[in-house]
Structure 1
Amino acid sequence: MNSEDLKIGWIGLGKMGKPMSEQLIRAGYTLQVYNRSKEKEAVLKKEGASSASSPKELLEQTDVVFLMVSDDSATHEIFSGKNGLLKADVSNKIIINMSTVSPEISREMARELANNGNHYLDAPVSGSVKQAQEASLVIIAGGEKAIFEKVRPLLETIGKKAVFIGETGTGNLTKLAVNTYLGIITQGLAEVIHFSREKGVNTGDLLEIINNSALGSPFIKIKGDAVLQENYEAAFTLNHLTKDLGLAVDAGMNTPLGKLAFETFRNAEPDLGKEDVIAIIKKL
């Protein structure tokens, strides 16, 4: 079966899941969705998607199911809960988990699916809401290479690049490395802005210098502008980054800057968890 003939299912229609799933509709794929909050399905249904009553029903009626949910707990519920994916009596289905979760849960769910001849890819993404809306995410995949190649056209509809890393869980590990770097950069930017302000340097001048040097990047530009405008509306919430840094520590990341970033963000989470990651500057 060619990829364009595949029936696609999607679970999780939050800030990332909604624009990512919409890319598949725009590309002409048949899409069926499931979301615990049914009001979030309404927009997708207006765009041509249908809905399922449960993950089990979704998997029974489609060939490939994508997940974009918040964490390990949500993933476990989608798979193992009442009417979860593992309750479906099916074979040769493909489940692609694009959530940022632990490598352990990916390996566990892959083993469970394999018992019935089904397949699992861990395929978290690098990028945030804007990149999801523009289909410019970078997708980081682990699992069976043949399955990755089969669904590559779907992944490249959602993002600008799909990279196969290796066996199940390696996509998750690589994403945790990327988000550890994100935490370090975010804290570093916040610290130098804080330091320069204390010494009387204009923040706009500092950012102009950084952005026109080898240190400049789109991320620094976006987050620097957010600080200048005091706009901490979340593109990527501080509590989600804290969760990812914690997963990295649990996976064995024990280097100085990574551990320090985790502690900084964890201490800020009770007050700033729903704000954007750059809101960490308020805790300095």
Structure 2
Amino acid sequence: MNTTKIGWIGLGNMGIPMAEQLIKAGYPITVYNRSKVKESALKNMGAEIASNPAKLLEETDVVIVMVSDDHAISEIFSGEEGLLQSKTSNKIIINMSTVSPKISKEMAEKCRDIECFYLDAPVSGSVKQAETGQLVIMVGGEEQVFEKAKPILEKLGKLALIVGSHGAGNMAKLAINSLLALYAQGLAETVVFANQNGIKTEDLLQLINNAALGNIFTKIKGDAIIGDNYKAAFALKHIVKDLGLAKDEGISSPLAETAFTTFKNAEANYGEEDIIAVIKAIK
């Protein structure tokens, strides 16, 4: 039984399986989620429920946040009953959301003001990797704080690597997700081009996955295309957000600009579907 008390905020597609991994590892977990229905799944596994983020921080040693965007982070940290209103100190707050480096730097400073510690620790991987503890975690913050948090992060991922100071984890994630967008658009365009010239999708994917270009992404998303299954593991609307954040940080390369335009145009019709639903827009 691990004695570190962990608080968890955010029970979306990724948050639930990640929190479950920590419960299975023996950590005592307390959760807070805006949608109360989602708390029941964790409660049934033994988790406690907190009434608001401030109470959650007071009742635990480490709080992990996994939400969708900068706006949600601002609300969770700075809201009326937010983390920063907590009457406590010497706690670690780990923000695993994919958000801007700017907001991580801002929240790290505010955490310092209440004598708590902040890490940005976004993840690479989707629901399947969350369910099996095989995420890749990139961390920004202070080395000594990272070392304290590392045993927890290692229950969630196969690699937890500190890459710089506050905001660096978010910057690394934006770089990786920019490549993710290029992969997805490239795969979609390749399949469409092959189909237009008489090549079956199944045959093309078998060739790709047995060649040097084959990887986990092409296998998973290729299977999704073949099965006409666009249920969101990573919603297309989220890659639009991430590419927008990368643009805000200065990315302006030809491929990145093209990808942003493609996914932004696809968002209205396919935003709630998986990222690889971009193939339907390309067709």
For the aligned pair, the TM-score class normalised by the smaller chain equals over 0.9
For residue 82 of structure 1, what is the aligned residue in structure 2? 80
2 CA distance for matches of 1:163 and 1:213? 30
Unaligned runs of 5+ in 1: none
Displacement after TM superposition at 1:202 (Å): 1.1
For residue 45 of structure 2, what is the aligned residue in structure 1? 47
Identical residues among aligned pairs (%): 59
For residue 117 of structure 1, what is the aligned residue in structure 2? 115
Is 1:154 aligned with 2:148? no
* Structural RMSD (CA): 0.9
Instruction: Count how many residue pairs are aligned between Structure 1 and Structure 2.
Output: 282
Is 1:236 aligned with 2:221? no
2 CA distance for matches of 1:113 and 1:70? 20
Deviations 1:30-58 (A, max 9, x none): 10000001111111011010000000000
Is 1:71 aligned with 2:69? yes
1 CA distance for matches of 2:214 and 2:116? 44
For residue 17 of structure 2, what is the aligned residue in structure 1? 19
2 CA distance for matches of 1:225 and 1:23? 26
Displacement after TM superposition at 1:200 (Å): 1.1
Equivalent residues in 2 for 1:110-149 (5 A)?
110-149=108-147
Unaligned runs of 5+ in 2: none
For residue 33 of structure 1, what is the aligned residue in structure 2? 31
1 CA distance for matches of 2:151 and 2:243? 30
Deviations 1:106-130 (A, max 9, x none): 0000000101211100000000000
SS at match of 1:4: coil
The one-letter code matched in structure 1 to 2:196 is E
Deviations 1:195-222 (A, max 9, x none): 1111111111111111100000011011
Segments of 4+ moved more than 4 angstroms: none
The one-letter code matched in structure 2 to 1:156 is E
* Kept after mapping to 1: 8 A contact 2:84/2:114: no
SS at match of 1:207: helix
Deviations 1:63-84 (A, max 9, x none): 1000000000001000011100
For residue 171 of structure 2, what is the aligned residue in structure 1? 173
Displacement after TM superposition at 1:5 (Å): 2.5
Deviations 1:154-204 (A, max 9, x none): 000111110110100000000000000000000000001011111111111
Is 1:220 aligned with 2:221? no
1 CA distance for matches of 2:88 and 2:258? 45
Deviations 1:247-283 (A, max 9, x none): 1111111111111111110111011000000000011
The one-letter code matched in structure 1 to 2:105 is R
The one-letter code matched in structure 1 to 2:26 is G
Aligned mate of 1:191, from 180, 186, 189: 189
For residue 258 of structure 2, what is the aligned residue in structure 1? 260
Q: TM-score, normalised by structure 2?
A: 0.98
